[in-house]
Amino acid sequence: MPREEPEIIGDITDIEIIAVNLSIRELDRLRRQYGGRRWRKLKGKANVIDEYGNVVFAEIHWYQCHGIGRREAKIARELK
Protein backbone atom coordinates (compact mmCIF):
# COMPACT_ATOMS: atom_id res chain seq x y z
CA MET A 1 0.00 0.00 0.00
CA PRO A 2 1.50 3.38 -0.97
CA ARG A 3 2.19 5.72 1.88
CA GLU A 4 0.37 9.02 2.17
CA GLU A 5 1.73 11.80 -0.01
CA PRO A 6 3.14 14.90 1.72
CA GLU A 7 1.01 18.03 1.56
CA ILE A 8 2.79 20.55 -0.65
CA ILE A 9 2.53 24.19 0.43
CA GLY A 10 2.98 26.77 -2.30
CA ASP A 11 4.77 26.23 -5.58
CA ILE A 12 7.36 23.64 -6.50
CA THR A 13 10.60 25.27 -7.70
CA ASP A 14 13.74 24.02 -9.48
CA ILE A 15 11.83 21.25 -11.27
CA GLU A 16 14.02 18.77 -13.18
CA ILE A 17 13.26 15.57 -15.07
CA ILE A 18 15.12 12.62 -13.54
CA ALA A 19 13.92 9.81 -15.85
CA VAL A 20 11.62 9.28 -18.84
CA ASN A 21 9.74 6.14 -19.90
CA LEU A 22 12.03 3.08 -20.11
CA SER A 23 14.56 4.47 -17.63
CA ILE A 24 11.86 4.48 -14.90
CA ARG A 25 12.14 1.32 -12.79
CA GLU A 26 8.45 1.40 -11.82
CA LEU A 27 7.12 1.92 -15.36
CA ASP A 28 5.17 -1.36 -15.68
CA ARG A 29 3.49 -0.85 -12.30
CA LEU A 30 2.61 2.78 -13.09
CA ARG A 31 1.01 1.79 -16.40
CA ARG A 32 -0.97 -1.04 -14.77
CA GLN A 33 -2.13 1.10 -11.86
CA TYR A 34 -2.85 4.44 -13.57
CA GLY A 35 -2.67 3.87 -17.33
CA GLY A 36 -0.97 6.42 -19.53
CA ARG A 37 1.93 6.12 -21.92
CA ARG A 38 4.65 8.74 -21.43
CA TRP A 39 5.64 8.71 -17.77
CA ARG A 40 8.31 10.95 -16.27
CA LYS A 41 9.97 11.01 -12.88
CA LEU A 42 10.61 14.55 -11.68
CA LYS A 43 12.18 16.30 -8.72
CA GLY A 44 11.75 19.77 -7.29
CA LYS A 45 11.94 21.80 -4.10
CA ALA A 46 8.99 22.95 -2.01
CA ASN A 47 7.70 23.58 1.48
CA VAL A 48 5.82 20.49 2.62
CA ILE A 49 4.13 19.18 5.73
CA ASP A 50 5.95 16.00 6.76
CA GLU A 51 4.41 12.95 8.46
CA TYR A 52 4.88 14.59 11.89
CA GLY A 53 2.99 17.76 10.93
CA ASN A 54 6.07 19.97 10.65
CA VAL A 55 6.57 22.38 7.76
CA VAL A 56 9.93 21.66 6.12
CA PHE A 57 11.72 22.78 2.96
CA ALA A 58 12.47 19.58 1.08
CA GLU A 59 13.38 17.99 -2.20
CA ILE A 60 10.43 15.99 -3.46
CA HIS A 61 10.21 13.32 -6.15
CA TRP A 62 7.09 12.29 -8.06
CA TYR A 63 5.83 10.58 -11.21
CA GLN A 64 3.83 12.49 -13.80
CA CYS A 65 2.03 11.57 -17.01
CA HIS A 66 0.18 13.71 -19.55
CA GLY A 67 -3.56 13.50 -18.92
CA ILE A 68 -3.09 11.80 -15.55
CA GLY A 69 -1.08 14.35 -13.58
CA ARG A 70 1.22 14.09 -10.58
CA ARG A 71 1.24 10.79 -8.68
CA GLU A 72 3.11 9.33 -5.69
CA ALA A 73 4.97 12.40 -4.45
CA LYS A 74 7.44 11.70 -1.66
CA ILE A 75 9.99 13.64 0.36
CA ALA A 76 13.43 12.62 -0.91
CA ARG A 77 15.35 14.69 1.66
CA GLU A 78 15.00 17.73 3.82
CA LEU A 79 16.97 20.81 2.81
CA LYS A 80 18.31 23.57 4.99
Please tell me the total count of domains within the chain: 1
What is the span of the domain harbouring residue 72? Answer: 7-78
Q: DSSP label at 5?
A: P
Q: Judge whether 1 lies within some domain.
A: no
Q: Judge whether 67 lies within some domain.
A: yes
CA distance 55 to 50: 6
Edge-first strand listing for the sheet containing 69-78: 7-20, 39-49, 55-65, 69-78
Please state the pTM of the whole predicted model. 0.88
CA distance 36 to 66: 7
Q: Judge whether 25 lies within some domain.
A: yes
What tens digit of pLDDT does each residue of 4-58 get? 788 999 999 999 999 999 999 999 999 999 999 999 999 999 999 988 899 999 9
Q: Judge whether 22 lies within some domain.
A: yes
Q: Judge whether 45 lies within some domain.
A: yes
Q: Judge whether 74 lies within some domain.
A: yes
